[in-house]
Amino acid sequence: MQVSLSRRAFFSGRGAQPVVAPFRPPWSRAEQHFVDLCTHCNECRDVCAEQIIVLGGGGYPEVDFQNGECSFCGDCAQVCEPGAIVAAHVFEALPWNLGVELSANCLSQNGVMCRVCGERCDARAIRFQLAVGGNALPVIDQSSCTGCGACIAPCPVGALEIKRFENEDQLEELS
C-alpha cells in the first residue's frame, strides 16, 4: 500500500495517510501496471456508452458511478491498445473486485420506505427482508454483486458506496 505524507500532516504529527487507488475501468490491470501502461489516449473514455469513465487524477481514466452503471460491454478493453485494460480476459474473468456497502443513513434502516437500490440491481444482489415492525431492510449478497454501480446514483441519500474487496491482483495472475 502506498502512503502519502503531506508536509502539513508531517508537521502536525498525523503521519502518513494511505493512498486509495481510484476505481479503474473494468478488467484493468493492477494499479501500478495500469499506470505504467496507460498512455492517456482516452479511447476507453470515448467509447464508454454509459459515460462512467471520466478523466481522473494525472489524466488517467477512472470510473465515476454517479454518472451511471457499468454494463460490462467490454468496449473499453477492446480499444485499449497499450494493454492497461486486459481485453483478452473480457467475459472470462471478473471485471473487478468491487462491491457495495450500505451506510447507516439508509432510508429503509431509518424507518422510511425505500427500495430504489433493490429495484435497480439487475443481479438481485440487494434484497429486502422484513424486520420487526413491518419495515423491510436491505441485505446485500456480496457474492452476487457485480460492482456495476447501478444502485449508487439513484439512492436519494447516498447510502451506498462502492468498495474494493480482496483478490486485487486477479487479472495479473491471468496475464
Residue 4 lies in a domain: no
What is the Cα–Cα distance from 118 to 21, expressed in whole angstroms?
Answer: 28
Residue 104 lies in a domain: yes
Q: How confident is the model at residue 88 (pLDDT cuts 50, 70, 90)?
A: confident
Phi/psi class of residue 157: alpha, beta or left (left: φ > 0; alpha: ψ in -120 to 50)? Answer: alpha
Instruction: Compute CA 163 distance to the chain's CA centroid, rounded to the nearest angstrom.
Output: 6
What is the Cα–Cα distance from 14 to 5, expressed in whole angstroms?
Answer: 9
- Check whether 16 has a pLDDT greater than 70: no
What is the Cα–Cα distance from 125 to 141, expressed in whole angstroms?
Answer: 5
Residue 2 lies in a domain: no
Phi/psi class of residue 132: alpha, beta or left (left: φ > 0; alpha: ψ in -120 to 50)? Answer: beta
Question: Is 129 or 87 the better-scoring residue by pLDDT?
Answer: 129
Task: Name the pTM for this structure.
Answer: 0.80
User: Which residues are known binding-site members for [4Fe-4S] cluster?
Assistant: 38, 41, 44, 48, 70, 73, 76, 80, 145, 148, 151, 155
CA distances from 20 to 1, 12, 106, 151 (A): 8, 21, 24, 22
Lowest average pLDDT, out of 19-23, 68-72, 101-105, 159-163, goes to 19-23
Structural domain boundaries, residue 151: 9-174
Residue 1 lies in a domain: no
Residue 126 lies in a domain: yes
Residue 149 lies in a domain: yes
Extract the C-alpha cell encoding 131: 424486520
Residue 147 lies in a domain: yes
- Check whether 20 has a pLDDT greater than 80: no
Domain count of the fold of the chain: 1
Residues 148-167: tens digit of each pLDDT: 999 999 999 999 999 998 65
Asked if 62 and 22 touch (Cβ cutoff 8 Å), the reply is yes
Question: Is 11 or 88 the better-scoring residue by pLDDT?
Answer: 88
What is the Cα–Cα distance from 172 to 43, expressed in whole angstroms?
Answer: 22
User: Which residues are known binding-site members?
Assistant: 38, 41, 44, 48, 70, 73, 76, 80, 145, 148, 151, 155
Q: Mean pLDDT over residues 75-84, rounded?
A: 96
Q: What is the reported pLDDT for 127?
A: 96
Residue 31 lies in a domain: yes
